[in-house]
Amino acid sequence: MANSGEDFSQFEISKEEKDKLVAEVIRYILFKTHQNSGCAIKREELSQLVTKNYRHRSLPAFVINEAKDKLSTIFGYELRELQRSRPSSTNHARLSQQSGADAKSYVIISQLPAEVYRKYVEDVNTSHLTGFTFVVISIVHLAGGKIAEENLWHHLKRMGLHATDENHPVLGNVKQVVETLVQQRYLQKDKVIGPEGNTLFYELAERALDGPVCERIKQYISQIVKKDIATMDT
């Protein structure tokens, strides 16, 4: 984490220039998060904001760390770097649908208590997307953390959701919403090349494996199981 009193004279820039770079990175993070529905932001994008006018190799890391501090203390957001999880082992060749170039990325996570966030911050107009996210992650979780694309859509079809539906009354383009979960790093999409051809798999990614999210998924699944048991008993 950056120290505001840390000496930045090594970068040959003034305090005003440094503060301007930090502010620009923060604006970019907040704007991109809103514009792209919380999709991960590549570290390379943030670095380019700094290096377009300054060439010191260590400056981007310094500025990003300062931006991280201010996002936390002023805006109440954690700037979290996502660590790419290793693909699960397989005997077949595997090609990731996400290039190694975006391995280092960031998302912002609210530091507010869940109850406060739901009451004062959460957008009720996107609650349907939150619900859909939990459903998809739960399906993959129950499948052992990894599921073939065909099987995922088999389960979604039982809920009336089809890959070919581009005008769902609530979700719009359903397939695109699933792909957004990949960009948001809830899922990782991989292609496995086997003797019978190529098979696409969805696997839980960094944000779905995050402790609080995992716990909420388990609670969500537990509630569904309890409802099913109660229905069977009546």
Which pair of structure tokens corresponds to residue 23? 């502010």
Q: First CA to last CA across the chain, in angstroms?
A: 56
pLDDT tens for each residue of 176-232: 999 999 999 999 999 888 787 789 999 999 888 887 777 777 777 777 666 656 565
Binned at pLDDT 50, 70 and 90, residue 101 comes out as very low
How far apart CA 163 and CA 143 sit, in angstroms, is 19
How far apart CA 12 and CA 26 sit, in angstroms, is 22
Residues above pLDDT 90, as percent of the chain? 50
Query: Which overall architecture, per CATH, does domain 125-233 show?
Result: Orthogonal Bundle (1.10)
Whether 68 contacts 1, CB under 8 Å: yes
CB neighbours of 158 closer than 8 A, spacing ≥ 6? none
How far lies 88's CA from each of 81, 91, 137, 203, 212, in Å? Answer: 21, 10, 17, 9, 22
Q: Within the chain, which residue ranges are assigned CATH 1.10.10.1200? A: 14-86+104-109
93 strand-pairing partners: 193
How far apart CA 82 and CA 7 sit, in angstroms, is 28
Residues above pLDDT 70, as percent of the chain? 83
Q: Within the chain, which residue ranges are assigned CATH 1.10.10.1210? A: 125-233
pLDDT tens for each residue of 128-184: 888 899 899 999 999 999 999 999 999 999 999 999 999 999 999 999 999 999 999
Residue 46: closest CA among 109, 106, 103, 108: 106
**Fold that domain 14-86+104-109 belongs to in CATH:** Arc Repressor Mutant, subunit A (1.10.10)
pLDDT tens for each residue of 30-40: 999 988 888 99
| Helix or strand (DSSP H, E) at 73 | helix 59-73
Mean pLDDT of the chain: 83
Burial string for 79-111 (b: 16+ CB within 10 Å, else e) reads bbebebeeeeeeeeeeeeebeeebebbbbbbee
